């Protein structure tokens, strides 16, 4: 494997395409581990156009949906593609026969006001600790909750893809030998991942 491949950022894009009304959507777009799928993909009338913020095309990714056999979903197909993210990529367009049918931006279009997503800890009930939140979440972002034993370098992912941080719960039973744990919330806006807050839970509190 070449050194350039080892440093490449791989993307997994999942979506749907309706061939009856020529509509589609991106269901999930996220970073992925390097994929073993072949990069020698056949041309297709359905593809993802990867562009910079000025609309310059950086790559074209063929898409081949898999269609169901049931009468009510025979025209709705799902797709999953893996590809390397070109430098300066900001926009993904799902295109069918030169018609754009869906669009995805790789970063949030509007920044969230500071402090509106501050993490807090609710009252402990048995081995469960709920998260609390100050202010409203970013509707264009998803949140991940991670925790680790205090002093450890290894974060464990407890919840992923949350639409708001306080949808998460901390299960203290996952850290049976810990005297305290650290909890943090990560915010994902497109491919921009940032830690928005963290807190500590002492098991003797």
Residue 5 has, within 13 A of its CA and on its CB side, a CA count of 7
Full DSSP string of 75-132: TEEEEEEEEEPPTT--EEEEEETTEEEEEEESB-SSPPPTTTT-EEE---BTTEEEEE
Token digits of residue 196? 């928005």
Closest by alpha carbon to 97, among 27, 19, 14, 25?
19
pLDDT at residue 100, as a whole number = 94
| pLDDT score of 115 | 46
Q: Residue 61: what pLDDT?
A: 94
The stretches in the chain having pLDDT less than 70 are 1-8, 33-43, 68-73, 107-121, 133-135, 190-193, 204-205
Q: Which three-class secondary structure state does DSSP give residue 5?
A: helix
Tell me if residue 19 falls in helix, strand or coil. Answer: coil
pLDDT for 135-152, tens place per residue? 677 777 888 888 888 888
- DSSP class per residue in 172-185: GGG-TT-SEEEEEE
Prediction pTM value: 0.53
pLDDT at 40: 53
Which pLDDT does position 113 carry in this prediction?
42
Q: What's the pLDDT at 70?
A: 57
């Amino acid at each position: 494997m070449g050194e350039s491949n080892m440093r490449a950022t791989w993307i997994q894009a999942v979506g749907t395409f309706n061939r009856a009304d020529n509509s589609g959507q991106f269901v999930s777009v996220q970073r992925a581990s390097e994929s073993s799928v072949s990069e020698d993909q056949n041309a297709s009338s359905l593809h993802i156009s990867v562009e910079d913020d000025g609309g310059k095309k950086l790559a074209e990714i063929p898409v081949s949906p898999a269609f169901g056999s049931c009468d009510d979903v025979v025209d709705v197909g799902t797709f999953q593609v893996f590809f390397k993210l070109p430098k300066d990529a900001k926009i993904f367009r799902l295109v069918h026969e030169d018609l754009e049918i869906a669009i995805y931006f790789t970063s949030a279009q509007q920044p969230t006001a500071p402090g509106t997503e501050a993490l807090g800890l609710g009252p402990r009930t048995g081995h469960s600790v709920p998260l609390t939140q100050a202010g409203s979440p970013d509707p264009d972002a998803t949140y991940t909750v991670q925790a680790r034993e205090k002093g450890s370098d290894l974060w464990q992912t407890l919840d992923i893809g949350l639409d708001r941080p306080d949808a998460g719960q901390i299960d203290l039973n996952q850290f049976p030998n810990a005297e305290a744990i650290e909890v943090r919330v990560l915010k994902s806006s497109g491919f921009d991942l940032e830690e928005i807050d963290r807190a500590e839970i002492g098991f003797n509190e």
